């Protein structure tokens, strides 16, 4: 298959018919025409869509088969659904292994990005612990460049991932107490920092409080972008690494159940990113710490910012979410919750 780079301008041109035409499938055809028309129907079993997912959904909305996304319906489950929280237990050690490698990621149909990743994905795997756990993370550098892991949070300075540069073929073990409770990040801190983060070396880091949060359906969403033509501007914007993925495969939740979203922004080259929910409001707790909650339908985050959203949907049906920078939405950062009874 020919690998081609779809520029920011070309994709925006392909998206332009959304503003004028009732049939939004045109962007799928235009994008496939510019990327070689690659068919992903064989990449896994597809869920039979409900009737309200079929066909065009109107202005600036693509859903189900109309959305040009890579892969099958469960490909990103390990990034979307975090490991379960564990009750506090004194003396517990939580162990993880992260391996850095160089790989190509297909971020949109037929569009490949030369990435540097932890454990094969950008973002990397969700790391989760309970406050007071001893966290032990073995880092193996299997990539072609020196890397590190910098964890947000409180830890000894010699476990900070700034000076402990790990050369290709070497490894290093980070060990520290997990604190404070909240939603944090990890990412490479080798220079040039902008390149190492943009290439994909980052992930979500949850530290649960000793007094557990109320039970909820939990989701992790890491906002990111990809510059596929090397001009210092992102051509695609995504959540969890694939453009339009949650428009093609809406996230199923139940009406009135508590849905908790761990939202983080690791988008390089843009000052801010954002999350906007349609048809309902949510509570937002910055960094997942403290007692301060905002009640809103839109939040903004600069790079490295994160927070916890909690929502109980009042109605059923498709509830769109997307960046409230319209260009980001048209370049892939959009999706849906499919709320059922």
pLDDT at 51 (0 to 100): 34
C-alpha torsion 40→44→49→53, nearest 10: -40
CB 241 within 8 A of CB 105: yes
Tokens of 286: 């910055």
Span 123-165, pLDDT tens digits: 999 999 999 999 999 999 999 999 999 999 999 999 999 999 9
pLDDT at 62 (0 to 100): 86
Sorted by where each starts, the structural domains of the chain and their CATH numbers stand as 8-76+215-340 (2.60.40.420), 81-208 (2.60.40.420)
Check residue 133 and report its DSSP letter.
P
pLDDT at 13 (0 to 100): 54
Query: Side by side, which strands form the sheet with 236-239?
Result: 236-239, 217-226, 259-265, 306-311, 282-286, 294-296
Low-confidence ranges of the chain (pLDDT < 70): 1-61
DSSP secondary structure of 250-282: PEEEETTS-EEEEEEE--SSSSEEEEEESSS-E
**Alpha-helix runs per DSSP H in the chain:** 8-15, 26-35, 77-80, 193-198, 245-248, 326-330
CB 57 within 8 A of CB 87: no
pLDDT at 52 (0 to 100): 40
pLDDT at 1 (0 to 100): 46
pTM, two decimals, is 0.86
303 — alpha (psi -120 to 50), left (phi > 0) or beta?
beta
pLDDT at 28 (0 to 100): 36
Burial of 208 (0-12, 13-18, 19+ CB in 10 A): buried
CB 318 within 8 A of CB 336: yes
pLDDT at 60 (0 to 100): 58
Q: Measured between alpha carbons, how far is 150 from 278 in angstroms, rounded to an integer?
A: 35
């Amino acid at each position: 298959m020919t690998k081609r780079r779809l520029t920011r301008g070309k994709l925006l041109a392909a998206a332009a018919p959304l503003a004028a035409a009732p049939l939004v499938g045109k962007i799928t055809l235009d994008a496939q025409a510019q990327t070689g028309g690659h068919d992903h129907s064989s990449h896994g079993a597809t869920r039979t869509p409900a009737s309200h997912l079929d066909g065009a959904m109107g202005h600036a909305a693509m859903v189900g088969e109309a959305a040009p996304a890579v892969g099958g319906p469960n490909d990103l489950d390990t990034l979307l659904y975090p490991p379960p929280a564990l009750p506090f237990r004194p003396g517990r050690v939580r162990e993880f292994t992260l391996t850095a490698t160089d790989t190509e990621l297909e971020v949109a149909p037929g569009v490949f990005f030369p990435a540097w990743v932890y454990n094969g994905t950008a973002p990397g795997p969700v790391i989760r612990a309970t406050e007071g756990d001893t966290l032990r993370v073995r880092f193996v550098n299997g990539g072609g460049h020196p890397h590190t892991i910098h964890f947000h949070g409180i830890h000894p300075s010699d476990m900070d991932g700034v000076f402990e540069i790990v050369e290709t073929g070497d490894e290093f073990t980070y060990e520290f107490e997990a604190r404070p409770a909240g939603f944090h990040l990890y990412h490479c801190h080798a220079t040039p920092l902008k390149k190492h983060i943009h290439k994909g070396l980052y992930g979500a880091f949850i530290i649960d409080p000793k007094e557990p949060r109320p039970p909820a359906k939990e989701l992790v969403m890491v906002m990111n972008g990809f510059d596929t033509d090397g001009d210092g501007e992102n051509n695609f914007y995504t959540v969890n690494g694939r453009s339009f993925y949650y428009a093609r495969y809406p996230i199923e939740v139940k009406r009135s159940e508590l849905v908790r979203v761990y939202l983080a922004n690791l988008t390089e080259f843009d000052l801010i990113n954002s999350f906007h929910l349609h048809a309902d409001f949510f509570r937002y707790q910055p960094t997942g710490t403290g007692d301060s909650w905002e009640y809103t339908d839109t939040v903004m985050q600069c790079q490295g910012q994160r927070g916890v959203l909690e929502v109980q949907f009042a109605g059923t049906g498709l509830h769109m979410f997307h960046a409230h920078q319209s260009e980001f939405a048209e370049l892939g950062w959009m999706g849906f919750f499919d709320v059922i009874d």
